[in-house]
Structure 1
């Protein structure tokens, strides 16, 4: 994809360079959406008013809900049509038809996973009410595509994507795609199985993920690990893992994180509840993931952010309830190790019986200028067992032998008559909102919410299977008797949650949120508890909080993980002549990951090299790389190892006549860390700064690398924080230290202020190049500034910069 988009960007840049100002203005004005005056929107029952503020945020005023949703679809398409078409082509597995063979692996992945197929099947199961909710939005998208082709983005035309009519099934497929991006457990299963294959079960279980909920009073970290270590099946598969092409390009977790919290009236200065949320995503490609919007009818008053292609809002507030989301990481995927019938390769064995594979044959269209007609076709044969698609079975790929991996996922099986987001705009209080959250089967969110009466709560969404036998942390063998080992689903009202706790605050940070004594396996892949613990340290001791207090907490860069390893680093290096200066830097550091300091950079380099040195000798470079690239898999477990510095895991198996400890691993890691930092920022530690390495680089989708990024809206900003702090900045373990997952948006709601919510967006409202609303909010975000998103209609009117009327 990059090569095609790069050519498009270069074409725009050359046009500007050759044509000077006139050409620049032509490109700037071409395809500019109309945001003033009258426009037609077929299907409306009455005119709809759209007002936009100084940041381009649209506020939609309609006479009824159907017209509101039609207008939201229309306005979203005005601002994000190219993004929406690229997203749709992605989850439908149709990128190659426009972008060529470079995107073929993505298309194969989406076809095998069946995102489009599952969305279509689910759409057929919707109730009339739910279908209508999505159809209104689709009608607005299609009205824009059909009625105003001349103002479609020139970028869309340049790339070669031709907008086609949308269907309800496309919106439902988006929900299924979001579900897939949340469901990263199967990658953790792959890592776990690699450890079993390499080490055997007994040794592997010692470094399986460790989950800790700090709220638990009567359990140790060992028991909180759940049944993962005891119920895992010990089968050594010895598969050709390098051929597991269905997994993402690396095993690095999606980075889907986030913080959210709410405080009760007793903790706020206004005497009302407050809710805060900052979803962590890879938001580097402008204009970003979220589309801010205000929605108004006689029955609806809401402002917040939506995903383009999804009606309503997912983060923000309605008339009575404010809400935000994090990824809950509920385990809704299992890998099954299936066996081909040795007597018939077209069958598989199930419960002692030979069953035929279900087969779907598809054809992927690939753009190729050298082929007759400009396209080639690639056949794709997808085999299924009754549990799901065979993910290791593609032409020329897949492990050898009679074992196959099959991916089972709830999004291929759970087709409820509603999606569950339909009632978020109208929930009258926190209890009603909780009931709406419980309707969500797909998308494993932790919702934190509060209402104007002072109630606060959190609840995990999603249909999570109850399993018999082994838990879901490892690839599993099908039941020998052919039965279904997904026996039920965790009751929705028993899903992890909390309502009006005595402490007057709730929060989630992708950590283990299970209540103490939770009777079911929920997941074994969650964030370490550093961020949640830090939330509790601040919220649990602070009274009379203001918006600015919450804003400061969102930008808090206190690294609690560093408290665990830092003392050992100092002790190991302070008497090392070659590296005692590193120990001095850390000794003078207070654990705050400030961009202007050298210490966070030194710490991250030593942390990285120490864990590499701890695991590579036992696991080998390839397996260690895969495990360490999956941050959540190992971080909490490594902390536990640090507490026992003479652990066998610190002993280097390559030196049989010596028993190494943690201190030895650190001293061996220091020269490697120093060499990497000197290569990065020179030999003088006095010139080292965390922010010089830890940056966020915003880019146009048309120009992700190379010269000219700035002309297309891109820019780079230094950032404090790290993957372990509330002010998030996760980097790829194999490519330190540029942040690729960070706060994509920040929203704070104070029910004491009915004029506005306060927000920042790492992006902009519009995808159009050479226009300010592509990146104006990102520039404010880079300066740690926030702005009002207006909630009161009179404030919207007072701050309107553009006035548009949509008429039938």
Structure 2
């Protein structure tokens, strides 16, 4: 027996030794040089890189181009594998990594043409933009060519890092910029609803977009297009798709590739509202940021008069959000409508042509080559040609989407592809010295459509909307447009100074939460897709709560979990739920709820579940399951409309047409939603309502790109953890409608910059500095992100050196 015990002890010791040794090996296997010296050819003088306790780099260079080149090198050190994956996604090259299974994604990316148009754009950049972009690319390539400390993920994935060129950075910008343009899915939803219900009834479904600062503006649905004699008659010049193609349209518009939506909160207060006497900037951009180490890369950049800290998307030089010696900025998605769908007609006499009225025009033909990983192929890859067609409006998207088995030819037009500029406009934070100067830089931005909020050290604040938005003929842009002539439906581009903005001011505050910012007298149609007003309404409440605000106040407001929508409609829910014995207990909890969506709140759980189920009770009987769920998946499309129904109880949609012997009221539907919510929550958490806490029902999980599923997923990623807030709160934590327990949309950064504080900026990202698996700085900021613990970007030389944990010199 004692020998058995000894054997067991020895086995246990061996397992422990192997485990400890394995952990030590893995922990060391993906590190990289952060001390000592590395040669970087092409710089004019040595560059010094300090890294702080988070691993965040602070780069000191002799001049601007040296600085950007070093940024490219250091970003590659931290994020090269992430950059490679993003680039391959944008280029449509994932089949090289994953084989045939990734083909649909590559076909879509090639069809959209991010890389194809990036190559075109790269050729027209002016000398200055090209020099900056090339310096960044040279830094990336220097790291790759050095061949040392290449991320372990490349070996695990069987990849070798590709060398970069300017077009690859531009491809990433177009790929990310796609998500800042709105309305594509809304067009499809609108088309299908009009086909099913007619124009007049559709107007009772069309999104309501409240602008709290201009309440007299009419909803766009009232000016949707000129009326016809018979308002229910389908106008073939504007409605061409058949309902039999609804599934194909939904497959296209609902594909994950086209859901790279950016959200965000952003605000700045002027000196008069700041406890420090200088403007304070707060920014927290929202997107699907669950993949480690997070979307943004934080860095400090210092050269001559340049002193800045902030974040950018790896693969893009400079800083998109941050603060400099003179300026701070934040951004939100402007949700501008910069894309339109068109229905083309193939010439029945010549299938190689399309018609514009009687005129027959040849399709432009584009050939792309897919390289697909294949073990059976001679060199491990097979090639496949992809033939694309294009009209004067844009690429044909219906040819290569397998779901779209239709004879209709649908094209997509994106303003960014037609309005390329020689200057990218993304270096404003490093060069501008005032809000006024920054405006001149960002007005050149043509790829992304954002609200840029700015504050400078002299006390000025301002806000500008970027992008190229087409002037359209009446009725164009809301639904797919049937092409019947050669007439262009775009009449030009709306001038930059005519887009929503606030010029430099020294008083008050400016904020944006993706809401409608269009004034009542605004002459152009620019979008019918905005976030509901709820987050902005809460921001307005908070901005009235004190005479002056501190950095700590803004940090707290970014995690504010008060739900303005809940405050408005919960009394209606309570009134109805009290009338049914089975839902009275739920009503009692809701009645006592303070509308804060904290993780320990039971009221938050009941509210969100009843609220989520209610629109199904309203719409399913007439829309059917598929169309209803497609519409409900686009939250912004229906939220304010359902709120109006709840408060007015007048909508024609409330009565269930399938119950011929009864006319339902909104209270009947609320009770039905309450009973279903009760059943679902009881199945998950038991009959005791005290167990129905929001933190159990509302969680976020972070994943490692090398192990998205299966054994090891949670070890390499982060186990699901409770998160407060919701889609309606400033503390954003939105779930996909059909997956209510999985948070998919949240802040990828929280930053508060006080222009009076020259030592530091309060900031945290939801991941870490490096994308290297097993590295201690891959996900070490998540705990601070979740708890609200304060982390800093150091700004003064003194603080950077005091907090430096390593020093690397890049030798010329």
TM-score over 0.5 for the pair: yes
Tell me the CA shift for residue 780 of structure 1. 1.2
Conserved? CA contact 1:211–1:225, under 8 Å: no
Q: 1:167 to 1:609 in 2, by over 3 A?
A: same
Q: 1:156 to 1:760 in 2, by over 3 A?
A: same
Conserved? CA contact 2:208–2:219, under 8 Å: no
Conserved? CA contact 1:291–1:307, under 8 Å: yes
Conserved? CA contact 1:130–1:422, under 8 Å: no
Tell me if 1:380 matches 2:386: yes
Conserved? CA contact 2:694–2:724, under 8 Å: yes
Tell me the CA shift for residue 113 of structure 1. 0.4
Q: Distance in 2 between matches of 1:42 and 1:463?
A: 39
Tell me if 1:413 matches 2:412: no
Question: Which deviates more, 326-335 or 482-491?
Answer: 482-491
Output aligned runs, 1:340-419, within 5 Å: 340-394=346-400, 396-401=402-407, 403-419=408-424
Deviations 1:470-524, CA, capped at 9 Å, x for gaps: 131211123x441211111111012111135686000000111123311111100
Q: 1:457 to 1:378 in 2, by over 3 A?
A: same
Conserved? CA contact 1:60–1:296, under 8 Å: yes
Tell me if 1:655 matches 2:669: no
Q: 1:208 to 1:681 in 2, by over 3 A?
A: same
| Structure 1 match to 2:60 | 61
| Structure 1 match to 2:748 | 744
Q: 1:790 to 1:223 in 2, by over 3 A?
A: same
Q: Distance in 2 between matches of 1:583 and 1:502?
A: 47
| Structure 1 match to 2:517 | 513
Output aligned runs, 1:68-217, within 5 Å: 68-147=67-146, 149-217=147-215
Tell me if 1:645 matches 2:644: no
The correspondence for 1:228, drawn from 203, 207, 224, is 224
Q: Distance in 2 between matches of 1:77 and 1:395?
A: 35
Question: Which deviates more, 322-331 or 345-354?
Answer: 345-354
Deviations 1:637-676, CA, capped at 9 Å, x for gaps: 2222223213211011112332211111112222211111
Tell me if 1:256 matches 2:262: yes
Output aligned runs, 1:599-614, within 5 Å: 599-614=603-618
Deviations 1:78-112, CA, capped at 9 Å, x for gaps: 00010000001000000111121221111011000
Tell me the CA shift for residue 412 of structure 1. 2.1
Deviations 1:244-267, CA, capped at 9 Å, x for gaps: 454453599544211000001111
| Structure 2 match to 1:793 | 797
Conserved? CA contact 2:203–2:221, under 8 Å: no
Conserved? CA contact 1:383–1:389, under 8 Å: yes
Conserved? CA contact 1:471–1:521, under 8 Å: no
The correspondence for 2:685, drawn from 669, 681, 686, is 681
The correspondence for 2:530, drawn from 526, 531, 534, is 526
| Structure 2 match to 1:278 | 284
Deviations 1:92-147, CA, capped at 9 Å, x for gaps: 00011112122111101100000000000001011111111100000000000001
Tell me the CA shift for residue 225 of structure 1. 5.2
Tell me if 1:625 matches 2:629: yes
Tell me the CA shift for residue 736 of structure 1. 0.6
Cα RMSD after superposing both structures? 1.9
| Structure 2 match to 1:327 | 333
Aligned residues: 789
TM-score (norm 1): 0.95
Tell me if 1:443 matches 2:448: yes
Deviations 1:7-28, CA, capped at 9 Å, x for gaps: xxxxxxxx99994322332222
Conserved? CA contact 1:628–1:733, under 8 Å: yes
| Structure 1 match to 2:323 | 317
The correspondence for 1:432, drawn from 432, 437, 442, is 437
Q: Secondary structure at the match of 2:282?
A: strand
Tell me the CA shift for residue 737 of structure 1. 2.2
Q: Distance in 1 between matches of 2:416 and 2:523?
A: 24
Q: Secondary structure at the match of 2:119?
A: helix
Conserved? CA contact 1:503–1:540, under 8 Å: no
Q: 1:17 to 1:204 in 2, by over 3 A?
A: farther
The correspondence for 2:275, drawn from 258, 269, 284, is 269
Q: Distance in 2 between matches of 1:271 and 1:556?
A: 24
Q: 1:548 to 1:698 in 2, by over 3 A?
A: same
Tell me the CA shift for residue 234 of structure 1. 4.3
Q: Distance in 1 between matches of 2:520 and 2:562?
A: 27
Q: Distance in 1 between matches of 2:290 and 2:353?
A: 45
Conserved? CA contact 1:352–1:482, under 8 Å: no
Q: Distance in 2 between matches of 1:537 and 1:502?
A: 21
Q: Distance in 1 between matches of 2:460 and 2:487?
A: 44
Q: Distance in 1 between matches of 2:220 and 2:556?
A: 32
TM-score (norm 2): 0.94
Tell me the CA shift for residue 620 of structure 1. 0.7
Question: Which deviates more, 550-559 or 188-197?
Answer: 188-197
Segments of 5+ residues of structure 1 without an aligned counterpart are 1-14
| Structure 2 match to 1:4 | none
| Structure 2 match to 1:465 | 470
Q: Distance in 1 between matches of 2:357 and 2:128?
A: 41
Conserved? CA contact 2:182–2:527, under 8 Å: no
Conserved? CA contact 1:321–1:451, under 8 Å: yes
Conserved? CA contact 2:180–2:448, under 8 Å: yes
Q: 1:693 to 1:255 in 2, by over 3 A?
A: farther
Tell me the CA shift for residue 599 of structure 1. 0.7
| Structure 1 match to 2:312 | 306
Output aligned runs, 1:566-605, within 5 Å: 566-605=570-609
Q: Distance in 1 between matches of 2:576 and 2:663?
A: 16
Conserved? CA contact 1:241–1:399, under 8 Å: no
Conserved? CA contact 2:602–2:693, under 8 Å: yes
Deviations 1:209-248, CA, capped at 9 Å, x for gaps: 11111001533xx446563365893445335233345445
Deviations 1:606-628, CA, capped at 9 Å, x for gaps: 00111111111111100001000
Q: Secondary structure at the match of 2:482?
A: coil
Q: Secondary structure at the match of 2:314?
A: coil
Conserved? CA contact 2:469–2:526, under 8 Å: yes
Conserved? CA contact 1:212–1:225, under 8 Å: no
Q: Secondary structure at the match of 2:289?
A: coil
Q: 1:378 to 1:671 in 2, by over 3 A?
A: farther
Q: Distance in 2 between matches of 1:539 and 1:575?
A: 38
Q: Secondary structure at the match of 1:82?
A: helix
Q: 1:17 to 1:372 in 2, by over 3 A?
A: farther
Q: Secondary structure at the match of 1:600?
A: helix
Q: 1:224 to 1:187 in 2, by over 3 A?
A: closer
Q: Distance in 2 between matches of 1:470 and 1:43?
A: 55
Q: Distance in 2 between matches of 1:395 and 1:787?
A: 45
Q: Distance in 1 between matches of 2:405 and 2:772?
A: 45
Conserved? CA contact 1:200–1:236, under 8 Å: no
Tell me if 1:806 matches 2:805: no
Tell me if 1:635 matches 2:642: no
Q: 1:447 to 1:519 in 2, by over 3 A?
A: same
Tell me the CA shift for residue 743 of structure 1. 1.2
Conserved? CA contact 1:226–1:521, under 8 Å: no
Deviations 1:509-562, CA, capped at 9 Å, x for gaps: 011112331111110011001001111111134222111100111011111111
